[in-house]
């Protein structure tokens, strides 16, 4: 009989003992802030399904970046809104050295060299059909020709000064090809964060609205390259392959509904592990906050702490600024 010798509530009674036994902590260092960028000057547009999130032109991006640095957020992730007339079947705009992302990276690195800049490597903002790769006549995304284009895209990001390139396309073999190209071209310290375990999730809906690819994608889906939400071992295998091919960090995506995968990756592979609390997760939280059904600050912080407990080293989250502000007090 352990009771009353063991009383679990003893340690919970005081603030000092609760603090002493606290296992995980969220800090601003854990946060990566995803931002949507568009062409123009002094432009900012609301994203209806993502309250408080905007698409901004590069000048406003720089203003926000200043705030991120002041808040101690180490990294920003960029996602472009590409004008319809720049989209094509072969997504050539993806590797335009003077494209929107490439210019944004150069501007950011010049103004805030200490802020980490992460770019998304995938073709969906650039294709007329909204798929992440180049398709054949049946609409099937072709792996190897897509990888050739992703390599060009990743190199153009590195040349612009990106610190981290993050392939989110789920083509086979792309990490190895990108790593080889970066080495050959002298970008030996450009980091690769692989969206390694990226699921074919319905939680990406608001993101596709934000970058304007949902109209192009229509009723299309990404089942032939993203992972089936029913699978777990397959995610581990994807992560192992990406590590083998030269990824420095791996990511699990979406976030909260896939914390079991985050935990497995961290426990089984013991590598830098990141999670993406995606647009749909943000949207559903915000909807409940706006209705007054959940308390924003406490639920937001609890949701982020859950990632740390599951083993994530960092979190891509649209709450990054709000959380960092709260942490600053």
Among candidate residues 198, 222, 266, 308, the one labeled active-site is 198
Q: Which residue has the tokens 């406003």?
A: 60
Judged by CB, which is closer to ligand PBG: 269, or 284? 284
* Cβ-based neighbours of 144, under 8 Å, separated by 6 or more: 173
Piece in contact with ligand PBG (CB under 6 A), picked from 68-76, 90-98, 202-210, 320-328 = 202-210
Rounded Cα distance, 246 and 229, in Å: 25
- The least distance separating ligand PBG from the CB of residue 318, rounded to whole angstroms, comes to 7
Judged by CB, which is closer to ligand PBG: 53, or 265? 53
Question: Among residues 166, 224, 229, which one has the least CA distance to residue 202?
Answer: 229
- The least distance separating ligand PBG from the CB of residue 122, rounded to whole angstroms, comes to 3
Q: How far, rounded to the nearest angstrom, does the alpha carbon of residue 210 sit from its chain's CA centroid?
A: 14
By CB neighbour count within 10 A (0-12 exposed, 13-18 middle, 19+ buried), where does 299 fall? middle
Packing angle of the helix pair 320-328, 296-310 (nearest 10 deg): 100
Rounded Cα distance, 16 and 160, in Å: 49
Among candidate residues 66, 86, 152, 253, the one labeled active-site is 253
Piece in contact with ligand PBG (CB under 6 A), picked from 41-49, 117-125, 238-246, 320-328 = 117-125
Rounded Cα distance, 180 and 170, in Å: 18
* Percent helix, strand and coil across the chain, each to the nearest 5: 45, 20, 35
Rounded Cα distance, 241 and 247, in Å: 9
Judged by CB, which is closer to ligand PBG: 163, or 169? 169
Judge whether 253 counts as a catalytic residue.
yes
Under the binding rule (CB under 6 A), the answer on residue 36 touching ligand PBG is no
String of contacts with ligand PBG for each residue 149-168, x by CB under 6 A: -------------------x
Q: How many residues of this chain bind ligand PBG (CB under 6 A)?
A: 11
- The least distance separating ligand PBG from the CB of residue 207, rounded to whole angstroms, comes to 3
Per CB under 6 A, the list member of 207, 225, 307, 319 interacting with ligand PBG is: 207
- The least distance separating ligand PBG from the CB of residue 289, rounded to whole angstroms, comes to 17
> What's phi and psi for 62, nearest 5 deg?
-65, -40
CA distances from 82 to 77, 130, 301 (A): 16, 11, 33
Judged by CB, which is closer to ligand PBG: 132, or 242? 132
Under the binding rule (CB under 6 A), the answer on residue 319 touching ligand PBG is no
- The least distance separating ligand PBG from the CB of residue 107, rounded to whole angstroms, comes to 21
Binding site, by residue number, is 238
String of contacts with ligand PBG for each residue 266-295, x by CB under 6 A: ------------xx----------------
CA angle 119, 124, 125 (to 5 degrees): 70
Rounded Cα distance, 249 and 265, in Å: 11
Per CB under 6 A, the list member of 122, 141, 250, 286 interacting with ligand PBG is: 122
- The least distance separating ligand PBG from the CB of residue 279, rounded to whole angstroms, comes to 3
Q: Which residue has the tokens 């590409």?
A: 82
55 strand-pairing partners = 36, 45
Piece in contact with ligand PBG (CB under 6 A), picked from 22-30, 63-71, 153-161, 204-212 = 204-212
Under the binding rule (CB under 6 A), the answer on residue 258 touching ligand PBG is no
Residues in contact with ligand PBG by CB under 6 A are 120, 122, 124, 132, 168-169, 204, 207-208, 278-279
List, by residue number, the catalytic residues: 198, 253
């Amino acid at each position: 009989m352990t009771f009353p010798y063991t009383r679990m509530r003893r340690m919970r009674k005081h603030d000092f003992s609760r603090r002493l036994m606290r296992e995980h902590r969220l800090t601003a260092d854990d946060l990566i802030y995803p931002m949507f960028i568009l062409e123009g000057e002094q432009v900012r547009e609301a994203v209806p399904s993502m309250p408080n999130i905007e698409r901004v032109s590069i000048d406003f991006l720089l203003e926000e970046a200043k705030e991120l640095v002041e808040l101690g957020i180490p990294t920003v992730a960029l996602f472009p809104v590409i004008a319809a007339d720049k989209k094509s079947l072969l997504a050539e705009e993806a590797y335009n050295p003077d494209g929107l992302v490439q210019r944004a990276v150069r501007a950011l690195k010049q103004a805030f060299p200490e802020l980490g800049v992460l770019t998304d490597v995938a073709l969906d903002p650039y294709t007329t059909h909204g798929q992440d790769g180049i398709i054949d006549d049946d609409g099937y995304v072709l792996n190897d020709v897509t990888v050739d284009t992703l390599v060009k895209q990743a190199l153009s990001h590195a040349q612009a000064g990106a610190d981290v390139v993050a392939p989110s396309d789920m083509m086979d073999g792309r990490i190895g090809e990108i790593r080889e190209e970066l080495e050959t071209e002298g970008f030996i310290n450009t980091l690769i964060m692989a969206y390694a375990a990226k699921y074919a999730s319905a939680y990406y809906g608001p993101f596709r609205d934000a970058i304007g690819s949902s109209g192009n994608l229509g009723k299309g889906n990404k089942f032939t390259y993203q992972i089936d939400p029913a699978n777990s071992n397959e995610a581990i295998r994807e992560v192992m392959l990406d590590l083998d091919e030269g990824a420095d960090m791996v990511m699990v995506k979406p976030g909260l509904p896939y914390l079991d995968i985050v935990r497995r990756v961290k426990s089984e592979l013991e590598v830098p592990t990141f999670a993406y609390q995606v647009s749909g997760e943000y949207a559903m939280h915000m909807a409940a906050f706006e209705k007054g059904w959940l308390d924003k600050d406490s639920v937001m912080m609890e949701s982020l702490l859950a990632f740390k407990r599951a083993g994530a080293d960092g979190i891509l989250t649209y709450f990054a600024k709000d959380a960092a502000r709260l942490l600053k007090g």
